[in-house]
Amino acid sequence: MSSKVALITGTSSGIGLETAVAAARAGWTTVATLRDPDRAGALRAAADRAGVPLDVRRLDVTDPASVTAAIEGVVADHGRLDALINNAGAGHVGTIENETVEDVRRVMEVNFFGVVQTTKAAMPHLRAAGGRLITVTSVGGVIGQPFNEAYCAAKFAVEGFMESLAPVAARLGVTVSVVEPGAVATDFVDNIGLDVTKVIAAAGDYAEPLQGYVERTLGQFANSAQTPEQAAATVVEALTTERPPFRLQTSEWARDFTGTKLADHDGSAVLALTGGYLG
Protein backbone atom coordinates (compact mmCIF):
# COMPACT_ATOMS: atom_id res chain seq x y z
CA MET A 1 0.00 0.00 0.00
CA SER A 2 1.31 3.42 -0.97
CA SER A 3 2.00 5.76 1.91
CA LYS A 4 0.83 8.69 -0.19
CA VAL A 5 -2.02 10.68 1.34
CA ALA A 6 -4.85 12.36 -0.61
CA LEU A 7 -7.49 14.64 0.90
CA ILE A 8 -10.77 15.09 -0.99
CA THR A 9 -13.47 17.65 -0.25
CA GLY A 10 -17.22 17.11 -0.63
CA THR A 11 -17.36 13.31 -0.37
CA SER A 12 -20.90 12.85 0.96
CA SER A 13 -22.17 12.05 -2.54
CA GLY A 14 -21.50 12.05 -6.26
CA ILE A 15 -18.09 12.56 -7.83
CA GLY A 16 -16.37 13.17 -4.47
CA LEU A 17 -17.70 9.96 -2.94
CA GLU A 18 -16.66 7.90 -5.97
CA THR A 19 -13.27 9.62 -6.14
CA ALA A 20 -12.61 8.80 -2.48
CA VAL A 21 -13.40 5.12 -3.04
CA ALA A 22 -11.41 4.96 -6.31
CA ALA A 23 -8.38 6.72 -4.77
CA ALA A 24 -8.40 4.27 -1.86
CA ARG A 25 -8.74 1.40 -4.32
CA ALA A 26 -5.71 2.79 -6.19
CA GLY A 27 -3.71 2.41 -2.97
CA TRP A 28 -3.79 5.96 -1.62
CA THR A 29 -4.32 6.68 2.04
CA THR A 30 -7.54 8.57 1.47
CA VAL A 31 -8.91 11.30 3.69
CA ALA A 32 -12.55 11.76 2.69
CA THR A 33 -13.91 15.01 4.05
CA LEU A 34 -17.45 16.32 4.33
CA ARG A 35 -19.03 19.32 5.94
CA ASP A 36 -21.53 17.25 7.92
CA PRO A 37 -20.16 13.95 9.27
CA ASP A 38 -23.76 12.78 9.84
CA ARG A 39 -24.02 12.52 6.04
CA ALA A 40 -21.19 9.96 5.77
CA GLY A 41 -23.51 6.92 5.54
CA ALA A 42 -23.41 6.48 1.74
CA LEU A 43 -19.65 7.10 1.69
CA ARG A 44 -18.94 4.51 4.38
CA ALA A 45 -21.27 1.99 2.72
CA ALA A 46 -19.52 2.46 -0.66
CA ALA A 47 -16.10 2.03 0.97
CA ASP A 48 -17.30 -1.12 2.74
CA ARG A 49 -18.64 -2.55 -0.53
CA ALA A 50 -15.29 -1.83 -2.19
CA GLY A 51 -13.40 -3.22 0.82
CA VAL A 52 -11.23 -0.12 1.19
CA PRO A 53 -10.36 1.96 4.27
CA LEU A 54 -11.17 5.68 4.43
CA ASP A 55 -10.17 8.29 6.99
CA VAL A 56 -13.38 10.34 7.24
CA ARG A 57 -13.08 13.89 8.60
CA ARG A 58 -15.10 17.08 8.78
CA LEU A 59 -14.22 19.95 6.43
CA ASP A 60 -16.55 22.75 5.36
CA VAL A 61 -14.83 24.72 2.59
CA THR A 62 -16.63 27.90 3.70
CA ASP A 63 -15.36 27.56 7.29
CA PRO A 64 -11.66 28.52 7.40
CA ALA A 65 -11.16 27.03 10.89
CA SER A 66 -12.46 23.65 9.73
CA VAL A 67 -10.16 23.74 6.69
CA THR A 68 -7.09 24.45 8.81
CA ALA A 69 -8.08 21.89 11.44
CA ALA A 70 -8.64 19.16 8.84
CA ILE A 71 -5.43 19.75 6.90
CA GLU A 72 -3.19 20.23 9.94
CA GLY A 73 -4.84 17.19 11.55
CA VAL A 74 -4.05 15.05 8.50
CA VAL A 75 -0.42 16.14 8.49
CA ALA A 76 -0.15 15.55 12.24
CA ASP A 77 -1.67 12.06 11.98
CA HIS A 78 -0.28 10.83 8.64
CA GLY A 79 2.93 12.89 8.52
CA ARG A 80 2.30 14.20 5.01
CA LEU A 81 -0.19 15.40 2.43
CA ASP A 82 0.57 14.41 -1.17
CA ALA A 83 -2.62 15.49 -2.91
CA LEU A 84 -5.52 17.86 -2.41
CA ILE A 85 -8.60 17.17 -4.51
CA ASN A 86 -10.94 20.16 -4.46
CA ASN A 87 -14.27 18.61 -5.37
CA ALA A 88 -16.84 20.33 -3.14
CA GLY A 89 -19.13 22.60 -5.07
CA ALA A 90 -22.73 23.58 -5.61
CA GLY A 91 -24.75 24.54 -8.65
CA HIS A 92 -26.91 27.60 -9.01
CA VAL A 93 -29.43 28.63 -11.66
CA GLY A 94 -30.45 32.26 -12.03
CA THR A 95 -29.93 35.54 -13.81
CA ILE A 96 -28.78 38.78 -12.30
CA GLU A 97 -32.02 40.76 -12.62
CA ASN A 98 -33.87 38.07 -10.68
CA GLU A 99 -31.37 37.44 -7.89
CA THR A 100 -29.38 39.41 -5.37
CA VAL A 101 -25.69 40.19 -5.37
CA GLU A 102 -25.66 38.21 -2.11
CA ASP A 103 -26.84 35.12 -4.06
CA VAL A 104 -23.88 35.53 -6.40
CA ARG A 105 -21.50 36.00 -3.46
CA ARG A 106 -22.74 32.75 -1.87
CA VAL A 107 -22.03 30.85 -5.09
CA MET A 108 -18.53 32.33 -5.17
CA GLU A 109 -17.97 31.45 -1.50
CA VAL A 110 -18.47 27.73 -2.00
CA ASN A 111 -17.14 27.25 -5.52
CA PHE A 112 -14.26 29.75 -5.59
CA PHE A 113 -13.21 30.98 -2.14
CA GLY A 114 -13.65 27.46 -0.77
CA VAL A 115 -11.01 26.29 -3.24
CA VAL A 116 -8.76 29.24 -2.39
CA GLN A 117 -9.03 28.42 1.33
CA THR A 118 -8.15 24.73 1.01
CA THR A 119 -5.39 25.43 -1.50
CA LYS A 120 -3.72 28.00 0.78
CA ALA A 121 -3.79 25.58 3.71
CA ALA A 122 -2.51 22.64 1.67
CA MET A 123 0.24 24.26 -0.44
CA PRO A 124 3.11 24.09 2.10
CA HIS A 125 2.47 20.38 2.57
CA LEU A 126 2.04 19.71 -1.15
CA ARG A 127 5.35 21.47 -1.77
CA ALA A 128 7.05 19.37 0.90
CA ALA A 129 5.69 16.21 -0.73
CA GLY A 130 6.20 17.21 -4.38
CA GLY A 131 2.47 16.63 -4.59
CA ARG A 132 -0.61 17.30 -6.66
CA LEU A 133 -3.34 19.91 -6.56
CA ILE A 134 -6.43 18.78 -8.45
CA THR A 135 -9.68 20.72 -8.74
CA VAL A 136 -12.99 19.58 -10.16
CA THR A 137 -14.20 22.58 -12.14
CA SER A 138 -16.69 22.05 -14.99
CA VAL A 139 -17.15 22.57 -18.70
CA GLY A 140 -18.80 25.67 -17.21
CA GLY A 141 -15.30 26.79 -16.21
CA VAL A 142 -14.54 27.18 -19.92
CA ILE A 143 -17.87 28.06 -21.53
CA GLY A 144 -20.43 30.33 -19.89
CA GLN A 145 -23.94 28.93 -20.17
CA PRO A 146 -27.36 30.59 -19.90
CA PHE A 147 -28.75 31.13 -16.40
CA ASN A 148 -25.38 30.01 -14.97
CA GLU A 149 -23.81 33.46 -14.62
CA ALA A 150 -22.77 33.04 -10.99
CA TYR A 151 -21.81 29.36 -11.21
CA CYS A 152 -19.79 29.78 -14.42
CA ALA A 153 -18.16 32.95 -13.08
CA ALA A 154 -17.04 30.97 -10.02
CA LYS A 155 -15.74 28.06 -12.11
CA PHE A 156 -14.00 30.49 -14.53
CA ALA A 157 -12.43 32.09 -11.46
CA VAL A 158 -11.17 28.73 -10.25
CA GLU A 159 -9.73 27.92 -13.67
CA GLY A 160 -8.01 31.31 -13.87
CA PHE A 161 -6.61 30.90 -10.35
CA MET A 162 -5.28 27.41 -11.09
CA GLU A 163 -3.95 28.28 -14.56
CA SER A 164 -2.02 31.19 -13.01
CA LEU A 165 -0.70 29.10 -10.13
CA ALA A 166 0.22 26.07 -12.26
CA PRO A 167 3.56 27.18 -13.77
CA VAL A 168 4.82 28.58 -10.45
CA ALA A 169 3.67 25.52 -8.49
CA ALA A 170 5.33 23.29 -11.11
CA ARG A 171 8.60 25.14 -10.54
CA LEU A 172 8.26 24.28 -6.84
CA GLY A 173 7.39 20.64 -7.48
CA VAL A 174 3.57 20.69 -7.31
CA THR A 175 1.50 19.53 -10.28
CA VAL A 176 -1.75 21.44 -10.78
CA SER A 177 -4.69 20.04 -12.78
CA VAL A 178 -8.32 20.96 -13.35
CA VAL A 179 -10.93 18.33 -14.22
CA GLU A 180 -13.88 19.42 -16.35
CA PRO A 181 -17.03 17.27 -16.25
CA GLY A 182 -20.11 17.82 -18.38
CA ALA A 183 -23.41 16.45 -17.08
CA VAL A 184 -22.88 13.82 -14.39
CA ALA A 185 -25.77 11.91 -12.80
CA THR A 186 -25.31 12.94 -9.17
CA ASP A 187 -27.42 14.84 -6.62
CA PHE A 188 -25.97 18.03 -8.15
CA VAL A 189 -29.18 19.17 -9.89
CA ASP A 190 -31.46 18.23 -6.95
CA ASN A 191 -29.09 19.95 -4.53
CA ILE A 192 -29.65 23.26 -6.35
CA GLY A 193 -33.09 23.05 -4.73
CA LEU A 194 -34.80 24.77 -7.64
CA ASP A 195 -38.59 24.79 -7.61
CA VAL A 196 -38.79 25.02 -11.40
CA THR A 197 -42.48 25.91 -11.65
CA LYS A 198 -42.16 28.62 -9.03
CA VAL A 199 -38.95 30.10 -10.45
CA ILE A 200 -40.32 30.21 -14.00
CA ALA A 201 -43.57 31.79 -12.76
CA ALA A 202 -41.54 34.53 -11.06
CA ALA A 203 -39.09 35.02 -13.94
CA GLY A 204 -41.01 37.78 -15.78
CA ASP A 205 -39.50 38.52 -19.19
CA TYR A 206 -36.98 35.72 -18.61
CA ALA A 207 -39.64 33.00 -18.25
CA GLU A 208 -39.59 31.74 -21.83
CA PRO A 209 -35.81 31.39 -22.30
CA LEU A 210 -35.54 29.98 -18.76
CA GLN A 211 -38.16 27.35 -19.58
CA GLY A 212 -36.21 26.45 -22.74
CA TYR A 213 -32.95 26.23 -20.81
CA VAL A 214 -34.42 24.07 -18.05
CA GLU A 215 -36.03 21.65 -20.54
CA ARG A 216 -32.82 21.30 -22.54
CA THR A 217 -30.67 20.80 -19.47
CA LEU A 218 -32.95 18.30 -17.74
CA GLY A 219 -33.07 16.40 -21.06
CA GLN A 220 -29.27 16.34 -21.20
CA PHE A 221 -29.04 15.03 -17.63
CA ALA A 222 -31.73 12.38 -18.35
CA ASN A 223 -30.27 11.19 -21.65
CA SER A 224 -26.52 11.62 -21.74
CA ALA A 225 -25.10 12.15 -18.26
CA GLN A 226 -21.98 10.28 -17.22
CA THR A 227 -21.99 8.20 -14.06
CA PRO A 228 -20.10 9.66 -11.11
CA GLU A 229 -17.78 6.62 -11.28
CA GLN A 230 -16.80 7.64 -14.83
CA ALA A 231 -16.10 11.23 -13.80
CA ALA A 232 -14.16 10.03 -10.75
CA ALA A 233 -11.97 7.87 -13.00
CA THR A 234 -10.67 11.04 -14.68
CA VAL A 235 -9.96 12.65 -11.30
CA VAL A 236 -8.00 9.55 -10.28
CA GLU A 237 -6.19 9.71 -13.62
CA ALA A 238 -5.02 13.21 -12.66
CA LEU A 239 -3.93 11.76 -9.30
CA THR A 240 -2.03 8.74 -10.58
CA THR A 241 -0.75 9.44 -14.12
CA GLU A 242 2.94 10.24 -14.14
CA ARG A 243 2.60 13.58 -15.94
CA PRO A 244 -1.04 14.66 -15.91
CA PRO A 245 -2.03 17.55 -18.19
CA PHE A 246 -3.25 20.81 -16.67
CA ARG A 247 -6.73 20.38 -18.11
CA LEU A 248 -8.67 17.10 -18.31
CA GLN A 249 -12.23 16.62 -19.58
CA THR A 250 -14.14 13.66 -18.19
CA SER A 251 -15.95 12.57 -21.39
CA GLU A 252 -15.93 12.83 -25.18
CA TRP A 253 -18.88 15.20 -24.90
CA ALA A 254 -16.98 17.46 -22.48
CA ARG A 255 -13.95 17.40 -24.80
CA ASP A 256 -16.05 18.33 -27.84
CA PHE A 257 -17.96 21.04 -25.98
CA THR A 258 -14.89 22.74 -24.48
CA GLY A 259 -13.23 22.33 -27.89
CA THR A 260 -15.73 24.86 -29.24
CA LYS A 261 -13.63 27.42 -27.40
CA LEU A 262 -10.27 25.90 -26.48
CA ALA A 263 -7.40 25.76 -28.96
CA ASP A 264 -5.15 24.44 -26.17
CA HIS A 265 -7.30 21.55 -25.02
CA ASP A 266 -5.09 20.12 -22.29
CA GLY A 267 -3.47 23.42 -21.28
CA SER A 268 0.06 22.34 -22.25
CA ALA A 269 0.66 25.21 -24.71
CA VAL A 270 -0.37 27.85 -22.14
CA LEU A 271 1.81 26.29 -19.44
CA ALA A 272 4.80 26.07 -21.79
CA LEU A 273 4.33 29.78 -22.59
CA THR A 274 3.74 31.11 -19.06
CA GLY A 275 6.31 28.77 -17.52
CA GLY A 276 8.80 30.63 -19.71
CA TYR A 277 7.98 33.87 -17.85
CA LEU A 278 9.75 32.48 -14.79
CA GLY A 279 13.27 32.68 -16.17
Question: How near is the Cβ of 149 to ligand NAP at its closest, in Å?
Answer: 15
Respond yes or no: is residue 151 known to be catalytic.
Answer: yes
Question: How near is the Cβ of 105 to ligand NAP at its closest, in Å?
Answer: 14
Cα–Cα nearest to 238, from 103, 59, 83: 83
Helix ranges, the chain (H): 14-25, 41-50, 64-78, 101-108, 114-129, 149-171, 188-192, 196-201, 207-224, 228-240, 252-259, 268-275
5, 46, 108, 110: which one binds ligand NAP (CB under 6 A)? 110
Is 188 in contact with 91 (CB distance < 8 Å)? yes
Q: Is 149 in the site for ligand NAP (CB under 6 A)?
A: no
100, 191, 224, 227: which one binds ligand NAP (CB under 6 A)? 191
Quote the CA–CA distance of 59 and 102 in Å, as a whole number: 23
Question: How near is the Cβ of 43 to ligand NAP at its closest, in Å?
Answer: 9
**If binding means CB under 6 A, how many residues of this protein chain bind ligand NAP?**
31
176 DSSP β-pair partners: 133
Output DSSP code: residue 141.
G
* Complex with ligand NAP: residue 66 or 274, whichever CB lies closer: 66
Helix, coil or strand: residue 251:
coil
Fill in the per-residue mask, 42 to 71: x = in contact with ligand NAP (CB under 6 A), - = not in contact.
------------------xxx---------
Residues noted as catalytic = 151
Binding site for ligand NAP (CB under 6 A): 9-16, 34-36, 39, 60-62, 87-90, 110, 114, 136, 138, 181, 183-184, 186-188, 191, 228
